[in-house]
Amino acid sequence: MSTDCPILVWMLSLNREYSQEEYDACHKVVDECVHHLKIPYDPPNADSFRQIMTQMLPLLMMRHRRIPRAKWRDCLTPNGKHWIEQSPDDMPPDKFLHSMIGYHLTFETSLCGMAMTQGVQRKVINIGLGLKQIAVEPRGVSVQTFVESMGHKLTPTERQLIAPELGDEVVMRRLCILLALKQAYIHAIGQPPGFDWARLEFDVPGEKARGDGHPLQGWEFRIFKASLGVARRDMLVEEHYQCVCAFFRGTKDSTFIWHESAKDLESWVQFINIDQMVKVIPKLTA
């Protein structure tokens, strides 16, 4: 893996119900510190809480770097890609140019994620995170019904990779990998929500990607899984997510990097939960 523009991913597990007090405290932090976004105050809305917690991830990341909130600003490209620019004070010009932090935020069910990298602005913005829970939607439908509902996002070649005879487990895993790959790439290039996913084709066994029939060159796709234990009322439910981080490195070919074990992830993926985030709230505004 390249040492230029190292990638870090933060995963926040919404591992339990949240309280009104927690919602209020988190909403206040985002309201004060995330100047580019106004999240309507809506405590009963779980999606609102997901959005708030996700927006707190860059604040936590900068806090970990011991950079006060007043010393950095959030910037946006015309197509909605975020990067963080630190104050150039006391920083040599060359170091300043390489200090830009590109990041992408997303969430899915009980998992909020942030992928980030540091380097020059034109490079670091090309990062995206894709998360897909390995579960059918809506709950209770058959795997085949769910696969058919996702068919419009796949190419004929991709559909062959998820043939029903492979069995539900294999089909779901492969489908979620395909969807997470596409989502990560779409996020990385800053495409709007209406983008036609079937314009992309991922030949996962062959480790090749195409867009509009042309090879996607220079991309790095990191593929990994996240498993969470989530408290739902008085039950602990296990949830599994297929995750992909896409980043444009500009190499000749695209690479697919599979991270199969927790040890593979520990150097670049950090997992935290609601308690850990709430605990650091007083420090995030400093």
Instruction: Name the token pair of 271.
Output: 């997992």
Q: Establish if 212 belongs to a structural domain.
A: yes
Q: Establish if 172 belongs to a structural domain.
A: yes
Q: Give 103-131 pLDDT, tens digit per residue.
A: 999 999 999 999 999 999 999 999 999 99
- Angle, alpha carbons 99-100-104 (nearest 5°): 140
User: The CATH number of the domain where 162 resides is what?
Assistant: 3.90.470.20
* Mean predicted lDDT score pLDDT of the chain: 95
The pLDDT assigned to 153 comes to 97
The pLDDT-based confidence of 202 (bands split at 50, 70, 90) is very high
- Angle, alpha carbons 38-48-272 (nearest 5°): 105
Residue 276's domain comprises: 7-284
The pLDDT assigned to 264 comes to 87
* Inter-residue contact 66 to 59 (CB < 8 Å): no
The pLDDT assigned to 286 comes to 79
The pLDDT assigned to 234 comes to 85
Q: How far apart are CA 200 and CA 152, in angstroms?
A: 12
The pLDDT assigned to 3 comes to 60
Q: Which of 39-43, 87-91, 252-256 has the lowest mean pLDDT?
A: 87-91
Q: How far apart are CA 265 and CA 226, in angstroms?
A: 10
Q: What percentage of the chain exceeds 70 in pLDDT?
A: 99
Q: What percentage of the chain exceeds 90 in pLDDT?
A: 93
Q: Give 205-244 pLDDT, tens digit per residue.
A: 999 999 999 999 999 999 999 999 999 888 999 999 999 9
Calculate the CA dihedral of residues 267, 258, 185, 243 and round it to 10 degrees: -70
Domain count for the chain, please give it: 1
Q: Give 145-177 pLDDT, tens digit per residue.
A: 999 999 999 999 999 999 999 999 999 999 999
Q: Establish if 19 belongs to a structural domain.
A: yes
Q: Establish if 50 belongs to a structural domain.
A: yes
Q: Establish if 163 belongs to a structural domain.
A: yes
- pTM for the full model? 0.95
Angle between helices 46-64 and 20-33 (to 10 degrees): 60
Closest by CA position to 236, among listed 74, 15, 85: 15
153 contacts: CB under 8 Å, gap ≥ 6: 179, 182, 197, 198
Q: Establish if 2 belongs to a structural domain.
A: no
Q: Establish if 73 belongs to a structural domain.
A: yes
* Inter-residue contact 229 to 16 (CB < 8 Å): no
Q: Establish if 126 belongs to a structural domain.
A: yes
